[in-house]
Structure formats: C-alpha cells, structure tokens
Amino acid sequence: MFVFYFDHIKVATMRKDVRILLVGEPKVGKTSLIMSLVSEEFPDEVPLRAEEITIPADVTPERVPTHIVDYSGTDTCTSLYDETHMACIAVLMSMPQASPKVLIPLLLNVLILLSCHRVPLILVGNKSDLVEHSSMETILPIMNQYSEIETCVECSAKNLKNISELFYYAQKAVLHPTGPLYSPEDKEMKPSCIKALTRIFKISDLDNDGILNDNELNFFQRTCFNIPLAPQALEDVKNVVRKNMSDGVKDNGLTLKGFLFLHTLFIQRGRHETTWTVLRRFGYDDDLELTQEYLFPLLKIPPDCTTELNHNAYLFLQSVFDKHDKDRDCALSPDELKDLFKVFPYMPWGPDVNNTVCTNEQGWITYQGYLSQWTLTTYLDVQRCLEYLGYLGYSIIQEQESQTAAVTITRNKRIDLQKKQTQRSVFLCNVLGARGSGKSGFLQAFLGRNLARQKRIREDHMSYYAMSTTYVYGQEKYLLLHEVLPDFEFLSEADLACDVVCLVYDISNPRSFEYCAKVYKKHLLDSKTPCVIIAAKSDLHEARQYYSLSPLDFCRKHKLHPPQMFTCNTDEAPSKDICTKLTTMAMYPSSFGFQLSWSCHMILTLPVCVCFCSHAKLRCMCSCNRCTYCICHNLLNSELVRSVKAKLYSAVLNRHMTQADLKNSTFWLRASVGATVFAVLGFAVYKALLKHR
C-alpha cells in the first residue's frame, strides 16, 4: 500500500470558512442533530430552531472555521433562496424510511435553488435508530442520478451515530469537492482537471524528459506536502502504477499517464484532499482556474522607478530555456517554443517578437533574444511578466512566496542624476523622426539585420520595439529602442519619457531634418534628457536640407554631438557603435553637459577634477575642443607642460633620497608645497586659456 503524506495544517485551502445549511421537512431531526453535535448527547428538549453555531478552526480536521445553520420553513426573516446563496454546502435531511416518491420531489426543489449558486449537496438519512435495515440501497441510485450530490450518510442524533462524520464530509465536500475533478458517470477525471495536472507535471519535470525521476518526485512531494517520500514509499508508488498500466513507469520514472492514474486512484478512494492540495499549491481555485492572487501578486512601484529581473530570475529563465532547447543550438525552434509555452493557456509571443529581439539566420529566437524579450516585458509591463512567471511556476520551483521575488525595483531616476551613477541595467531610447526617415531600419539594424534581411520581414510582423545588449566599459546593459509614431502635434509626455532620445533624419530627403529640428526645439530644448541626431541612409547622396540651419550647424548651436552617420545597407551586420554611445549617454546623462539645460559657460566653470573625471569615462566620444576636458587634455599634451613634467621627473628621480629624508617631516612639507605651487600654476594657465577662448 502506498500513500502521499499529507499535513492538514499546511493545506492551502481557498476558503476562509465553511457555511453548512441543514434543510429538510419538519420533524426530520435537523435541530436535534445540531444540538447532539454541540453537547455530545441527545437533548431532552428540542427548540423549534437552533441558533447558528460556529465551530472554531482549531477543533476541525481541516483547520477552517465552520458555521452550521438550521433552516426552518417558519422563519420569515430569511428565505431558503437567501440561505442557499450564503451557504457553502447544503445537507438535505430525511427520514430513513422515506420512499423515492417522497424524497425526489423534495430533492428537485432543493437542487433548483442550489444550482443557482453552485452549492454541493449531501443526502442524510436521520433517525436510523428507528429502523432495523439500511436505506442506502434506496439512496445510492438517486445519488448516482444527480451529480450535484457529493455523498450520502445515515446517522442518528439519539445514538450519536455518524454525526461528527457527517459534518466532516460536509466540510470536506466544500474544501475538496469531487465535482470539478471527477466524472462518476465516465469514471475518469474531467478534462479541466487533466489539463491542470498536465501543467503541474510539466513544471515538475525539471529536465523535460517526460518522466518524473526520484529527485523530481521528491521535490514535488516536498513542495506540495512539506515531507519527502522515503525510498521505499517511492518504489511502492511506482509498483502500484506498474500493476495497473504498462506505460505508467518508464526508465524507473513516472510518466504523465502514470501521474494522472495516481490522482485518479486518489479520487476514487476518497482522497480528494491529496489532489486538491497539489492543485492549490500550484495556484488553482475551486474552478480549476489559476487565481488572480497567484498570477498577479501585489507589487507597488514608486514613481520614476523601473522594474528589472534580478539574477535569480535570469537563472530560472536560463534553466527553462536549456530544458526546452533540445538540439542545443542556443535557439528555440517553433516546435521548441511551442513546447515551452504548453504550460500557458495561450501563446504569449506573437510573430512580432521575432522582429523585436535577436534571432538566428532561420528566424528562431536565440538565447540572447529570449532573455531580451523577458527583460522587455518586465520593463514595459511588469504585471504581465509576473503572470508569465506564474504560468512557468517560478514561485514553486524557486521556493518563493510569489513571482515578485524575481523583480527588482530600481532607484528613483532623480537620485541617479544627483549621485551621477546608476545601478540600472535597462535603458530606454525613444527614436523619433519623420515618415520614411529610417527609424525602423535603425531598430532592426540594432538586432544585427542589414537591409537585405529587413526586406524579408512582413509589414504586419514589424515591431515598434527592439531590445538587445550593449557593453559599456565591460558591463552588459540592455538598450530598448522604441520607435515613436511621427505625429508631431500629438507627442505626449509618455512619448518623450526615456533615458536618451534619438532623432533620425534621411540625408537624401531635403525635408527630413526639419521634423527633428522642430521636435528638439519644442520638446527637448530645455530637457535634461541626452539627445543624439542620426543621419540615416548615409550610403545615399546627401541632399541639402530645407531648413534655416544645416544639421551640423544646428548641432553646434545647441551644443549637440555632430550628426552620427548610419546605414543598414551593408553586406555584414550593421555596426552597433551608435547604440553603444546611446547606452553610455543614458548611463551617464550628467556627464553630457553640453546637452543639458545648463548653459555652456556653467559647464566650463566646473572644477577641473569633476569635469575631468566625468569626461575621462567618455573620452572616446568627446572631440568638441570646447569643454573643460578637451581644454585640459590639450594643455597636458602641449610641449610646454611636457618639458616641465620631464624636468620635474628628472629632478626627483636623480635626487638621492635616504631613509632619513623619507622619515623627515620637513621633506614632505616641501614636497606638498611644491605640488601645491605646481597645481596653482596649472590652474592659472588653464584660466588664461579659457579667457582667451
């Protein structure tokens, strides 16, 4: 004999209490039954109707408060319809000698009321002490005829027969109902139950080989029941399956058919609580639907903060990818992707996803693209990400309270600006430009697709987003490009709320740059968001723009970088250098002083050390010869400073310093004074050069 160990204390029941309604003809013993349960003896005097009683949770087997209501037809305060609306289960009581002709009309009347509220029913034959024979032979055919009837019980309030059992069955029928799980007529589990248990099996099959091995079975047992199975108990389970079906056990592991057979056996033997415990642990409610609390746990996000996946979440997603990438080509084929999403009630990723993230030459989503799509979903719609992680069983596999453990809420962006550093890993770049300027081509080029590959993309499969990784000073960061629709008059704050803005114009179209200039002057002129102008289609002949200023002069006037030349009409994958620059600007917005609302002279009056440190990180991008860094850099590289530096080094290195000199405070005083004088002279030269410019 086998058993799954079951701990009632840790059952994840979906109801907080149970309300039992006793109905029946007058004088069948409803009130006597309640009073015998409470006092544990048959009452000498029975009132017309017992008051509602509540049994505390700590004295019930299922640890749930239970309310028992005695309904009387003479009660004018509440109708039977109202009572059935509030009840969790009804108990229809009759005399044991009642014939089917008397019982069935009463039963039908009650079932009509109960069907409106989907309340289960238990048939009870009371006063069994008055008859010598059992009435179960009469009741069982009626029970089999009506699926709403959970069970039948004979009891006696006078002899205290089966009273506790009756209310235990009633409580059990509410907390662990048979109806959603099993069809007595067909003698098999219902399709909705099979579907739910199949999802549970796939989640528990950690290596996706179609078999639950001993380790996976033990993990499943510990997850659901908090107690591991002993080795002998595992063998007993598998032996029972082997005796009843040929394909239930394979390679000493439990197959899906064997897993479903076990739960069918539990239900047939009256162990509904075992199956219900498993279902509720994996997030299902009484209708075998995943609960809202499971799929959408509460997550509060403060203003100006973003959401990202943390390290443990990426490890989990990596394990999910690995277990479905059966050919180990670091890409998910359509069949592999379909298999991955079998635990979802719908296909979450449409064909546009393949044009949002990186794919291989066959158009299959790569490992990098797979993680990028999850990162994008977390950034743009964290609630949807929590839902998806719930379908994959993140909280169960990772043994967390909910999917919120997978999400990191970043620091407020204003604090990042104040501290001039950020711990964020995902940055948003809004791409704006006139129609036909090359925005979509720029997005697809970020995913490594040249013009030839882009022409093969169907127009209805295009995406307004592109997400991939870039490397900034050795750190991997995610850059999300978002193509904003070119309706100049209808640009909202949401369209401009980002970490960096990219204005794209077509160099071959003489009217293309005008849109960029108008957007910048209306929305970005006083913004602290870094901005870059991209001259797209640079492989074509450059036309003179019909604007008062040329793009280069416009950038000079507004202290912007010169227009960045870009084309996706290449033989190989287009360069990602511009995207790396965009990510760098998003990471260090305060370092790009020439693009902030501060005026240029404020930047130039910053302390040398501050400006030098910030520009030292970005010297690969700065060649303006106007900022503090460039002036200092040119000064340090001048012949005058080099000759002075060489003479100082020579004087210090050629001087013979003894240990006494090193310990002498006078020596260090002289050295510090000399260094100070040198610093003051250097600053004076810098100010003179600055005044001259």
**CATH number for the domain including 107?**
3.40.50.300
Please report the pLDDT score of residue 164 as a whole number: 85
What tokens does 541 get? Answer: 């002949």
> Contact 582/479 with Cβ under 8 angstroms?
yes
Residues 118 and 229 placed together within one structural domain of the fold: no
Residues 6+ apart with CB under 8 A from 422: 410, 411, 416, 587
Is it the case that residue 599 has pLDDT exceeding 50? Answer: no
339 Cβ contact list (under 8 Å, min separation 6): 208, 324
pLDDT at 489: 66
pLDDT at residue 614, rounded to an integer: 41
Are 521 and 632 in the same domain? no
Average pLDDT of the segment spanning 41-53: 82
Distance CA 377, CA 249 (A): 39
Q: Is the pLDDT of residue 185 over 50?
A: yes
512 assigned to some structural domain: yes
Rounded to an integer, what is the distance from CA 203 to the centroid of its chain?
A: 16
* 441 membership: H or E segment, kind and range: helix 439-446
Confidence category of residue 12, pLDDT binned at 50, 70, 90: very low
Task: Please report, rounded to a whole number, the percentage of residues in the chain having pLDDT higher than 90.
Answer: 48
pLDDT band at 343 (very low <50, low <70, confident <90, very high): very high
Residues 320 and 256 in one domain: no
Tell me which DSSP letter residue 523 carries: I
| Distance from C-alpha of 640 to C-alpha of 621, rounded to nearest angstrom | 26
- pLDDT at residue 691, as a whole number: 53
Per-residue pLDDT, 649: 52
The answer to whether residues 44 and 171 belong to one domain is yes
Q: Are residues 401 and 447 in the same domain?
A: no
Each residue's pLDDT tens digit, 271-293: 888 999 999 999 999 899 999 99
pLDDT at 24: 79
Query: Does the pLDDT of residue 549 top 60, yes or no?
Result: yes
pLDDT tens string 674-692? 777 777 777 776 666 555 4
| Beta strands 66-70 and 89-94, pairing class | unpaired
Assigned domain for 6 exists: no
Q: Where are the alpha helices (DSSP H) in 326-424?
A: 334-340, 367-380, 382-392, 394-397, 413-419
Task: Please say if the pLDDT value at position 427 is more than 60.
Answer: yes
With cut-offs at 50, 70 and 90, classify the pLDDT of residue 388: very high
For residues 80 and 44, state if they share a domain.
yes
Within-domain flag for 581: yes
Mean pLDDT of 164-187: 84
Q: Which of 349, 375, 407 is the last residue of a domain?
A: 407
pLDDT at position 13 over 50: no
Instruction: Answer yes or no: are the C-beta atoms of 482 and 498 closer than 8 Å.
Output: yes
Can you point out the beta strands (E) in 4-147?
18-24, 53-55, 66-70, 89-94, 121-125
Nearest to residue 339, comparing CAs of 325, 358, 353, 354?
325
Co-location of 375 and 259 in the same domain: no
Widest distance between CA atoms in the chain? 122
- Domain count for the chain: 5
What are the backbone angles phi and psi of residue 445, rounded to the nearest 5°?
A: -65, -35
What average pLDDT score do residues 333-347 get?
96
- Out of 32-46, 59-73, 567-581, 625-639, the most confident range is 567-581
pLDDT given at position 418: 84
pLDDT band of 300, cuts 50, 70, 90? very high
Kindly tell me if the per-residue pLDDT of 639 is higher than 80: no
Q: Counting beta carbons within 10 angstroms of the beta carbon of residue 145, is it exposed (0 to 12), middle (13 to 18) or buried (19 or more)?
A: exposed
Contact 637/630 with Cβ under 8 angstroms?
no
Between residues 599 and 52, which one has the greater pLDDT? 52
pLDDT of res. 633: 56
Q: Domain boundary residue among 407, 438, 459?
A: 407
Q: Do 441 and 354 fall into the same domain? A: no
Give the separation between CA 238 and CA 215, rounded to whole angstroms.
14
Predicted TM-score (pTM) of this structure: 0.78
Pick the closest to residue 634 from 617, 626, 646, 614 (CA basis): 626
CATH number of the domain residue 238 falls in: 1.10.238.10
Residue 667 has pLDDT above 90, yes or no: no
Say if residue 27 is in the same domain as residue 160: yes
pLDDT > 80? residue 134 = no
Asked if the structure places residue 617 within a domain, the reply is: no
CA distance linking residue 259 with residue 221, whole number of Å: 13
620 part of a folded domain: no
Residue pair 512/506 in contact (Cβ under 8 Å)? The answer is yes
Shared domain check, 636 and 573:
no
Judged by DSSP in three states, 608 sits in helix
Q: How far apart are CA 210 and CA 341, in angstroms?
A: 15
Domain boundary residue among 229, 260, 289? 289
- CB-CB contact of 392 with 320 (8 Å): yes
Max avg pLDDT among 3-7, 239-243, 496-500: 239-243
- Per-residue pLDDT, 167: 83
Look up residue 539 and give its two tokens. 């492989």
Beta bridge partners of 67: 19, 54
Side by side, which strands form the sheet with 531-536?
Answer: 465-472, 475-483, 426-433, 500-506, 531-536, 564-565
Q: Which of 91-105, 163-177, 202-216, 632-646 has the highest mean pLDDT?
A: 202-216
Query: Do 314 and 371 contact (CB within 8 A), yes or no?
Result: yes
- 80-89, 382-391, 562-571: the lowest-pLDDT one: 80-89
Q: What is the average per-residue pLDDT within 182-189?
A: 85
3 in any annotated domain: no
Residue 449 sits in the same domain as residue 579: yes
| Mean local confidence (pLDDT), 409-415 | 91
- Segment 437-457 shows an average pLDDT of 93
Mean pLDDT computed over 184-213 = 93
480 CB neighbour count, 10 Å cutoff: 23
Instruction: Kindly state whether residues 228 and 359 are assigned to the same domain.
Output: no
Q: Is residue 475 part of a domain?
A: yes
Q: Measure the CA–CA gap between 226 and 222, rounded to whole angstroms.
A: 4
Say how far apart CA 657 and CA 103 lie, in whole Å.
Answer: 115
Q: Radius of gyration (Cα) for the chain, nearest Å?
A: 38
Work out the mean pLDDT of the chain and round it to a whole number: 82
Per-residue confidence (pLDDT) for residue 326, from 0 to 100: 92
**Which range marks the domain in which residue 556 is found?**
419-598
Sign of the alpha-carbon torsion through 339, 345, 351, 357: negative
Query: Which is more confidently placed, 112 or 594?
Result: 112
The residue type of 574 is: P
| Percent share of the chain, pLDDT over 70 | 77
**Backbone phi, then psi, for 465, in 5-degree steps?**
-130, 155
DSSP-derived secondary structure for 580-593 = HHHHHHHH-GGG-G
Residue 471 clears pLDDT 80, i.e. is over it: yes
- Compute the average pLDDT of residues 118-141: 77
Alpha-carbon gap, residue 283 to 99, rounded angstroms: 44
Whether 613 maps to a domain, the answer reads no
Write the pLDDT tens digit of every residue in 211-253. 999 999 999 999 999 888 888 989 999 999 999 998 999 999 9
pLDDT tier, 643 (very low <50, low <70, confident <90, very high otherwise): low
**Does the pLDDT of residue 610 top 50, yes or no?**
no
When pLDDT is averaged across residues 73-78 and rounded to a whole number, the result is: 56
Report d(CA 567, CA 534) in Å as an integer. Answer: 10
